[in-house]
């Protein structure tokens, strides 16, 4: 199972600590350091291309407005008539540069479990069990979304969301799934940054969430991350960095903490700010929505691609 590791928090900590190896530095000094290029290698495995159905399992209590924010995001990924760039669709189009062409996201089933059938403290195995509630399909991704009052194993400790796969009756039958939790009450400084002050590193003012809900707008960032990781590395044979498929950087985790040009540890980069509401965003979506999406690694340039 691959996870959204909170690597950017470690980066913030390193650049805010003084010792024999690291010292505090200004953005100008950081700009003088040429980082090693990030390279995600393709490991000759199957990718999820063509029409990919995303089924949702709502675990816990979500309000109708909260559900609408997340559903509108999913419907913004592959719309028939996308809004003008920068848009959610133009962000997602980078996945088409990975081998196999585009991944067209279709919204499928929605399963609601408001009665917490497995309790409010879940283990990884229970997330997998919940994912199967939407059925299993070879070209589908079942996404479990947990509400703000649900604790999940390792949530807020070293992960904000995960993706993995489960096997069917035959050894070659593999089905992708993912999980993302609402961190609004449990750890917004870890999993909803930059809409909340980080727990470590530079304490720059947080951005205003584009849809007015820190927890849900944070979920959008993490949902975007796991979906990009799922279609480009669904079964541990796709694109990732390093030798360990379960710990290697993927399409978006390779670019953690970067939302716009000029980003550096503690600063998400240049984004668009609404003059009336003060909300920050970098992508337009369905039904007039606006979202803040992380950079994605571009195989064509081997760089983290931003929308603005």
Averages of pLDDT over each 10 residues, the chain, 308 residues? 50 35 31 63 96 98 98 97 95 98 98 98 97 94 98 95 90 91 97 93 90 98 98 96 82 96 94 97 97 97 96
What confidence score (pLDDT) does residue 169 get?
Answer: 77
pTM over the 0.75 mark: yes
What confidence score (pLDDT) does residue 6 get?
Answer: 46
What confidence score (pLDDT) does residue 133 get?
Answer: 96
What confidence score (pLDDT) does residue 21 get?
Answer: 32
What confidence score (pLDDT) does residue 146 get?
Answer: 98
What confidence score (pLDDT) does residue 88 get?
Answer: 98
What confidence score (pLDDT) does residue 14 get?
Answer: 33
Alpha-carbon torsion 167, 168, 171, 173, what sign? Answer: negative
Q: Domain boundaries in the chain?
A: 40-305
What confidence score (pLDDT) does residue 2 get?
Answer: 63
What confidence score (pLDDT) does residue 4 get?
Answer: 61
């Amino acid at each position: 199972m691959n996870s959204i590791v909170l690597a950017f928090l470690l980066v913030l900590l390193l650049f805010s600590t003084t010792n024999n190896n690291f010292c505090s530095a200004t953005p100008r000094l950081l700009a003088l350091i040429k980082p090693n290029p990030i390279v995600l290698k393709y490991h000759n495995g199957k990718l999820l291309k063509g029409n990919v159905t995303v089924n949702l399992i709502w675990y816990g209590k979500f309000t109708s407005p909260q559900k609408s924010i997340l559903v509108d995001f999913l419907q913004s990924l592959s719309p028939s008539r996308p809004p003008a760039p920068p848009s959610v669709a133009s962000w997602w189009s980078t996945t088409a540069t990975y081998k196999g062409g585009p991944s067209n996201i279709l919204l499928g089933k929605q399963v609601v479990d408001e009665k917490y059938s497995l309790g409010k403290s879940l283990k990884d195995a229970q997330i997998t069990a919940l994912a199967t509630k939407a059925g299993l399909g070879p070209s589908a991704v079942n996404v479990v979304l947990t509400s703000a009052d649900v604790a999940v194993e390792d949530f807020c400790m070293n992960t904000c969301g995960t993706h993995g796969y489960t096997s069917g009756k035959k050894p070659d039958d593999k089905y992708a799934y993912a999980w993302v939790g609402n961190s609004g009450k449990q750890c917004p400084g870890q999993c909803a940054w930059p809409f909340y002050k980080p727990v470590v590193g530079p304490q720059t003012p947080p951005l205003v969430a584009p849809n007015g809900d820190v927890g849900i707008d944070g979920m959008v960032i993490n949902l975007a991350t796991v979906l990009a990781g799922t279609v480009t590395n669904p079964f541990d044979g796709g694109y990732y960095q390093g030798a360990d498929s379960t710990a290697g950087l993927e399409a978006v985790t390779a670019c953690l903490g970067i939302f716009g040009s000029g980003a550096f540890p503690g600063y998400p980069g240049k984004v668009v700010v609404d003059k009336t509401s003060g909300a920050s965003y970098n992508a337009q979506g369905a039904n007039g929505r606006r979202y803040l999406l992380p950079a994605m690694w571009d195989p064509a340039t081997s760089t983290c691609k931003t929308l603005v």
